[in-house]
Structure 1
Amino acid sequence: MGDIPLEALTTEILDGWVIGQRRGGYKPGTINKHINYLNRILNLARVWEIENGPKRNCKVSKRMPMGDHRQKFLGEAEIHLVLESCRREQHPYLDLFVHLLILTGARSSEARLARWCDFDMQRMVWTVPLSKSGRARRIVLSSSAAKVLEQIRQRTEGLGLPVTTDSHLFINPRLRQPYKSFHLAWDRARRRLGMQDVRIHDLRHTYASLLINRGASIYEVQKLLGHHHISMTERYAHLLPDTLHQRVEIVARLLDDTENRT
């Protein structure tokens, strides 16, 4: 806001502030976070009854639209096609990177920056030191995920790269640094299949959909995805429309058994 005092703020000024961020290249999600922070500041000033505080009706008139929230879920056949296409890439790690994401539901950045010291293979737990929520989180590993990790280790050793406890899992052989992105190789792999609309983040959606469609509860999926609020996980609740019908039959069967005994 520069040198503009609180009492001089107007909705027009705040809307101009939002437009300036949009022109500056900020993403809608980031701008909406900034709006949330600003609203918190303004509301706190009103609660504290700061002299010369903001006007009561002063606020951003409209949040930034987030676009199409349609989620993409890969079917089993599509998963195998994607993995095969990734194996055909010359990238040293793309296939293993994608396989790990599908098996764990991890975010791309979490896997990209993972170090070997983050994995406890006795407890089969992967600890992400700093997740998107700003907290550490634990990812439960399956036996298949453990096998992929071993394949990553073997491939890394084959490339002559370090696999010490502090080393990253995915090291660029040329730069000897962790990868900044897998998007170029991923884009080639998905375009080969005519699946340009599939994002790397959709692998996380796919992980959640596979769990829910095979009987995992929303609360279990919440823990496995590391969502802080259940509302984030409830986006997947529609994937099992018959689940509630199945659950109400529990009570119906109980009453039927009681009546049959009498």
Structure 2
Amino acid sequence: MGKKAKLPTGLYRRGEVFWLRWTPVPEGAQVRQSLGTSVLVEAIQEAERIKRTDGPVMRAEAGECSAEIDRYVAYGLAAGLAGATMESRRYVLKGFVEELGALTPRHIGALGCERWFAARMEKHAHTAVSYLNQVRWWFAWLMERGVVVRDPTAGIKVPKLKMRHRKVFLLPAEARRLIDECPEDDRDLKFALYCGLHAGMRKLEIIEARPEWFDLEAGLIHVQATPTFEPKGRDNRTIPMTEEFKGWMLKEFPPRAPFVLHPEVGHGKYRYRYDFRKAFEGLVGRCGLECTFHDLRRTFASLLVSKGVSIFKVAKWLGDTLKVVQDTYGHLIPQDDEINASWSR
């Protein structure tokens, strides 16, 4: 008796009729469909038709782009990348696919990517290149898994950008002006300014801050993981409060729950559940300054180092490595008079 012919992958018999067993959405649920025929050749043809025509529709209905982004973030976390890093990538990628109107990675074409990149370049060239790199990392991961066969951004030429010559920290008088000129009725913005300038906190940390982080009696801020937030590097840290910051909170801004800033606002589809960017930019403009909110964190560190506070302490308060702080702020260490030792008489 001859050997029974092996059926193509995914095909099987149930009674007299052939069926197809397949997974239209990568890592999604398995689907079983009747091919409606007992003839093998016809079954093979029908299976190919289903995969060719029904597959893209089913993947689109499953919102494959969103699902693939979620899988990518989960992969990065499992590989040991920081939660803040992966959430930042999720934010960039979701904005990317939403702007292109793509439901699946296969719907993303080179022309759409070029237009997206050009639009970013018009606003901020360095940010555009950073976003493009993040999109390319995602496509490299998709290609490794066989979800796409090519990277539609591969043809985009990245221009050589000049080094950014911008002020990365404020002078003491400029920092003071921001706090003093903050509108009295915008205590939320003033709280954010104090967190940045007096505690070196990151924007996301400020927005996610919980009341239990602030021990006003001891004068300490404990930045720690919560159900909606994970510190960068996955390290909780404690920052001593300045007398000014502590006094202002005791008098003007007792911590609220569940979030210190706008507790009534929950999480949505964006990275920040609440964003004070417009209020901050308006204040900066009125003060005649040019800075980003992250520059307040740099100001916190630079002022401390320039006053002789140890690099080790500043690194602990920032939640950065000693090397990062040394490389970034080491040139601000006060003048060392020992430079004159070899020429003294």
TM-score (norm 2): 0.49
**Is residue 308–residue 334 contact of structure 2 (8 Å, CA) maintained in 1?**
no
**Is residue 189–residue 280 contact of structure 2 (8 Å, CA) maintained in 1?**
yes
**Residue in structure 2 matched with residue 108 of structure 1 by the alignment:** 203
**Residue in structure 2 matched with residue 30 of structure 1 by the alignment:** 131
- After TM superposition, give the deviation of residue 61 of structure 1 in Å: 7.7
Matched, 1:194 2:295: no
- After TM superposition, give the deviation of residue 133 of structure 1 in Å: 2.8
- One-letter amino acid of the counterpart of residue 279, structure 2: A
Q: Report 1 or 2 for greater relative contact order, CA contacts < 8 Å, sequence distance ≥ 6.
A: 1
SS at 1:216 equivalent = coil
* Cα distance change, pair 240–25 in 1 and its aligned pair in 2 (3 A): same
Q: Alignment identity in percent? A: 21
Show the 5 A alignment for 1:147-166: 147-151=247-251, 153-154=253-254, 163=256, 166=257
**Is residue 223–residue 231 contact of structure 2 (8 Å, CA) maintained in 1?**
no
**Residue in structure 1 matched with residue 302 of structure 2 by the alignment:** 209
- After TM superposition, give the deviation of residue 34 of structure 1 in Å: 4.6
* Cα distance change, pair 71–137 in 1 and its aligned pair in 2 (3 A): farther
Q: How many residues matched?
A: 218
**Is residue 32–residue 63 contact of structure 1 (8 Å, CA) maintained in 2?**
no
* Cα distance change, pair 25–188 in 1 and its aligned pair in 2 (3 A): closer
Matched, 1:169 2:265: no
**Residue in structure 2 matched with residue 49 of structure 1 by the alignment:** none
Q: Partners of 1:148 and 1:23 in 2: how far apart?
A: 45
* Cα distance change, pair 188–98 in 1 and its aligned pair in 2 (3 A): same
**Is residue 127–residue 138 contact of structure 1 (8 Å, CA) maintained in 2?**
yes
- One-letter amino acid of the counterpart of residue 149, structure 1: M
Larger Rg, first or second structure (1 or 2): 2
* Cα distance change, pair 142–65 in 1 and its aligned pair in 2 (3 A): same
* Cα distance change, pair 135–63 in 1 and its aligned pair in 2 (3 A): farther
**Is residue 211–residue 260 contact of structure 2 (8 Å, CA) maintained in 1?**
yes
Q: Partners of 1:186 and 1:143 in 2: how far apart?
A: 22
**Residue in structure 1 matched with residue 270 of structure 2 by the alignment:** none
TM-score (norm 1): 0.62
* Cα distance change, pair 123–202 in 1 and its aligned pair in 2 (3 A): closer
What do the CA deviations read for 1:106-160 (whole angstroms, capped 9, x no partner)? 0122112201122345482412324563513313122423333324544x6xxxx
* Cα distance change, pair 77–65 in 1 and its aligned pair in 2 (3 A): same
**Residue in structure 1 matched with residue 331 of structure 2 by the alignment:** 238
Runs of 4+ residues deviating >6 angstroms: 15-18, 37-42, 58-61
* Cα distance change, pair 134–213 in 1 and its aligned pair in 2 (3 A): closer
- One-letter amino acid of the counterpart of residue 147, structure 1: G
The Cα RMSD (Å) is 4.3
Q: Partners of 1:146 and 1:127 in 2: how far apart?
A: 16
Q: Partners of 1:192 and 1:100 in 2: how far apart?
A: 20
* Cα distance change, pair 142–34 in 1 and its aligned pair in 2 (3 A): same
- One-letter amino acid of the counterpart of residue 260, structure 2: L
What do the CA deviations read for 1:1-24 (whole angstroms, capped 9, x no partner)? 957xxxxxxxxxxx9897476258
Q: Partners of 1:68 and 1:238 in 2: how far apart?
A: 18
121-130 vs 31-40, which moves further: 31-40
**Residue in structure 1 matched with residue 240 of structure 2 by the alignment:** 141
- After TM superposition, give the deviation of residue 36 of structure 1 in Å: 5.6
Q: Partners of 1:177 and 1:22 in 2: how far apart?
A: 32
SS at 1:93 equivalent = helix
Q: Partners of 2:161 and 2:134 in 1: how far apart?
A: 12
**Is residue 89–residue 189 contact of structure 1 (8 Å, CA) maintained in 2?**
no
- One-letter amino acid of the counterpart of residue 262, structure 2: I
* Cα distance change, pair 70–37 in 1 and its aligned pair in 2 (3 A): farther
What do the CA deviations read for 1:171-208 (whole angstroms, capped 9, x no partner)? 26xxx22661112222222222222x122221111101
